[in-house]
Amino acid sequence: MTEMVYGTAPVQGGEPVLPKWWRTVDTWTLSFILILFGIGILLGLAASPPLAERNGLDPFHYVGRQAFFGGLALVAMFLTSLMSPVMVRRLAVIGFLGAFVALALLPVLGTDFGKGAVRWYSLGFASVQPSEFLKPAFMIVAAWMMAASEEVGGPPGKLWSFALAVAIVLMLAMQPDFGQACLVLFGWGVMYFVAGAPMLLLIGMAGAVIFAGTIAYENSEHFARRIDGFLSPEVDPNTQLGYATNAIQEGGFFGVGVGEGQVKWSLPDAHTDFIIAVAAEEYGLVLVICIIVLYAAIVLRSLQRLTRERDPFIRLAGTGLACMFGVQAMINMGVAVRLLPAKGMTLPFVSYGGSSLIAGGIAVGMLLAFTRSRPQGEIGDILRGRFR
């Protein structure tokens, strides 16, 4: 009756999506990602023209492709960061199922592009590496299972997630792609540790990894060759590691100058796996330190914001994504300076590669979605309230 006399009350709309996103997202992490992408384009201008010349293409062919795929990655990152944690989880489950099936079918339908490891699907105009998309999706699915196991009467989620991790690692090792296998296992281990895994169990897992590595060394020529090259006291100057080591030494503190580097003419993977060697030679230690600081800042800021989260799923998933992002960067740079065996792993947002750029954009978008500010009490307040 009141509505008939006075009319209906206007519905108050919520805060618009974009202003709310800007107010709650970690703008510092977003800025660091954009800077890394800009550095990747800058280094691509230096590293990719020699490859384009060898393939009879336009000098900036690969730079244009990197900008295109990078643009898609930034769009994917933005759209994913707009989602709620529930929507991110649903997207990850669908993506995980698709990527898992694609990974399983690689031995039948995949190709190695002459690199000795069947990791890609060739689409003619581009290639797709399923493992790049599987990594972030698996982190979300595993975190969901682990968080569910902590509920009263919940499923054995930790055991299920471990079984999935083992299945993925075995499929990656069959390619062979031991670098991605180690990265997946590391990400799962970090989340399991945060979820409260016993130290004896983690030590046992480390022993199992060492044992598996020994078996792989004895039975895989691909794996043994990389380990022998890493352990050799002398570096063959005609190998990729040799060229990269020489380039880093030549660069010194300030580099030899923009466009003056020579390693890009010798390294076939100068624009991908060894992009940091190009940065060290032409721009010196100064740029390399800046890149390291950017990666460290992204990881540390993300972890710091996740400590305020009350939802165990968000804490676990965000921790897994952040640590996997940082460790992938560390592995790539560690290989270039010969601190780690060669892995064939890209530098996130800096190296050339369509799959790695787009998958990285999705992963960071998920991380930004999880680290957005939410109206909740500090986790410390909850813990203090339990003991009052």
Q: What is the mean predicted confidence (pLDDT) over 144-150?
A: 92
Q: Does 11 score more than 70 pLDDT?
A: no
> Per-residue pLDDT tens for 294-321?
999 999 999 999 998 889 999 999 999 9
- Please give the C-alpha separations between residue 171 and each of 175, 328, 368, in angstroms, as whole numbers: 7, 19, 29
b/e per residue 185-201 (b: at least 16 CB within 10 A):
bbbbbbbbebbebeeee
> What percentage of the chain has pLDDT greater than the value 90?
41
Dist CA 82 CA 21 (whole Å): 6
Quickly state the pLDDT bin for 247 (edges 50, 70, 90): confident
Quickly state the pLDDT bin for 8 (edges 50, 70, 90): very low
Q: What is the mean predicted confidence (pLDDT) over 154-179?
A: 88
> Per-residue pLDDT tens for 71-125?
999 999 999 999 999 999 999 999 999 999 999 999 888 887 767 678 888 887 7
Per-residue model confidence (pLDDT) at position 3: 46
Q: What is the mean predicted confidence (pLDDT) over 212-238?
A: 69
Quickly state the pLDDT bin for 387 (edges 50, 70, 90): very low
Per-residue model confidence (pLDDT) at position 17: 85
Quickly state the pLDDT bin for 359 (edges 50, 70, 90): very high
Higher confidence at residue 25 or residue 274? 25
> What percentage of the chain has pLDDT greater than the value 70?
88
Per-residue model confidence (pLDDT) at position 386: 47
Higher confidence at residue 163 or residue 173? 163
Task: Quote the pTM value.
Answer: 0.86
Per-residue model confidence (pLDDT) at position 12: 47
Higher confidence at residue 378 or residue 53? 53
Q: What is the mean predicted confidence (pLDDT) over 130-159?
A: 91
Per-residue model confidence (pLDDT) at position 146: 94
Per-residue model confidence (pLDDT) at position 358: 94
CB-based contacts of 255, cutoff 8 Å, min separation 6 = 261, 280, 281, 282, 283, 284, 286, 287
Per-residue model confidence (pLDDT) at position 286: 92
Per-residue model confidence (pLDDT) at position 113: 76
Dist CA 347 CA 330 (whole Å): 8
Q: SS3 sequence, 180-242?
A: HHHHHHHHHHHHHHHCCCCHHHHHHHHHHHHHHHHHHHHHCHHHHHHHHHHHCCCCCCCCHHH
Per-residue model confidence (pLDDT) at position 234: 64
Quickly state the pLDDT bin for 9 (edges 50, 70, 90): very low
Per-residue model confidence (pLDDT) at position 206: 78
b/e per residue 278-297 (b: at least 16 CB within 10 A):
bbbbbbbeebbeebeebbee
Supply angle C-alpha 215, 220, 222, rounded to 5.
135
